[in-house]
Amino acid sequence: MAAREPLLKIEDLWVSVEGKDILKGVNLTINPGEVHAIMGRNGSGKSTLSYTLMGHPRYQITGGSIIFKGEEIGELPPNERAKKGLALAFQYPVAIPGVSVSNFLRASVKAVRGKDIPVKEFRQELKAQMALLEVKDEFLSRYINDGFSGGEKKRLEILQMTLLKPALAVLDETDSGLDIDALKVVSTGINTLATKETAVLLITHYQRILNYVKPDFVHVFQSGQIVKTGGSELSEELEARGYDWVTQELTPSGVA
């Protein structure tokens, strides 16, 4: 691959929540169009990384840098990051009663693209993506995530990613809580999303989703750091041998 500017370059990133260090020196480089998977145990700091990338005010950057498209984004509010082409599919998206999905999607697409889209054109685009994700029409008139099942919430998250077409989509445990059929549908959505224009950072706990979505790189996350990086074969090895294997490899005495 020719030398080019990375899409995202995270260097020695330290993040704390309420005074407690959660990320302890993360380094990660993602080039345009690449698919990366971050795997790790619960509590290893994976979700902190996704919230920090999107700019959640609860997460304080105490050291290091996040360079996105050549610019430090650590100080930008979330909406400015979204406009630059960063998007996050939430693990637990919140319900917003009274706000219909269709109103919200249109407002969101308008804000990110910086211009209003004619209703008809928007409808067409939306319907195509909805068909792909097997989302029913009645979805649009419901309130955001209000009374949605786990699977419906995840579909709505992926639907938004496919509409926003970000340069980097961070998917935070999009596979958790899905049955096998829903997992397949959501995976199809992710594979449609992952193009030359859209890089994907897939954060997951299980190897399962990687049967459907093939990452270019797999990183193992542990205690607030990336401790091991490999190709897609790494995820299979993790599945077979468990996270303890990485721990043991890193700390030969077996004491994590």
Partner 1 sequence: MKTIAKERVDEITKQTAEPAWLKDSRLKAFESYLKTPTPCNRDENWHRTEVDSLDLTTLNVIVSDSKEVKAGKEPDVIAAALAHLGKQLPFIYTTPQSVEIGNADSALLSKGVIFCSLKTALTQHADLLNKYLSSGDLSTPDFAHNDKFYLMNQSLFNCGAFFYVPKNVILESPVLNVFTSGEESSIAVFPRVIIIVEDGAKAEFVNISTSARKTATDNTALSLINSSIETVVGQGATLSYLDVSDFSDNTFAVSRVYNEVKRDASLHSSTIALGGWQIKSDIQTNLKEPGAKSDIRGVVLGAGSERYSFNTIQDHIAPDTSSTINFRVALKDSSSSAYLGTIRVSKQGQRTDSTQSNKNLLLGANAHADSIPKLEILADDVKCSHGATVGPADKEQIFYLMSRGLNNLEAEELIVTGFFRQVVQSCPVDGAGDWINNLVAEKILSSKKA
Count of residues binding partner 1 (CB under 8 A)?
29
Query: How far, CA to CA in Å, does 58 sit from each of 51, 54, 94, 125?
Result: 9, 11, 16, 35
Strands 8-17 and 20-30: antiparallel
Among 17, 61, 99, 132, interactor with partner 1 by CB under 8 A: 99
From 102-110, 207-215, 223-231, 233-241, span contacting partner 1 (CB under 8 A):
102-110
Q: Can residue 83 be called a binding residue for partner 1 (CB under 8 A)?
A: yes
Q: What are the structure tokens assigned to 89, written together?
A: 């599919």
Q: Phi-psi region for residue 86, left (φ > 0), alpha (ψ -120 to 50) or beta?
A: beta
Q: Can residue 17 be called a binding residue for partner 1 (CB under 8 A)?
A: no
Q: Can residue 203 be called a binding residue for partner 1 (CB under 8 A)?
A: no
- The least distance separating partner 1 from the CB of residue 108, rounded to whole angstroms, comes to 4
Contact 65, 72 (CB under 8 A): yes
Q: Distance (Å, rounded) from C-alpha 127 to C-alpha 129?
A: 5
Give the nearer residue to partner 1 in terms of CB position, either 40 or 166: 166
DSSP state letter for 250: H
Give the nearer residue to partner 1 in terms of CB position, either 32 or 93: 93
124: how many CB neighbours lie within 10 A of its CB?
11
Give the nearer residue to partner 1 in terms of CB position, either 39 or 101: 101
Q: Can residue 147 be called a binding residue for partner 1 (CB under 8 A)?
A: no
Among 8, 26, 49, 54, interactor with partner 1 by CB under 8 A: 54
CB neighbours of 69 closer than 8 A, spacing ≥ 6? Answer: 5, 7, 84, 85, 167
Q: Coil, strand or helix: which one is 143? A: strand
Give the nearer residue to partner 1 in terms of CB position, either 95 or 250: 95
Give the nearer residue to partner 1 in terms of CB position, either 25 or 78: 78
- Binding stretches for partner 1 (CB under 8 A): 54-57, 77-79, 81-83, 87-88, 90, 93-94, 96-99, 103-104, 107-109, 111-112, 143, 160, 164
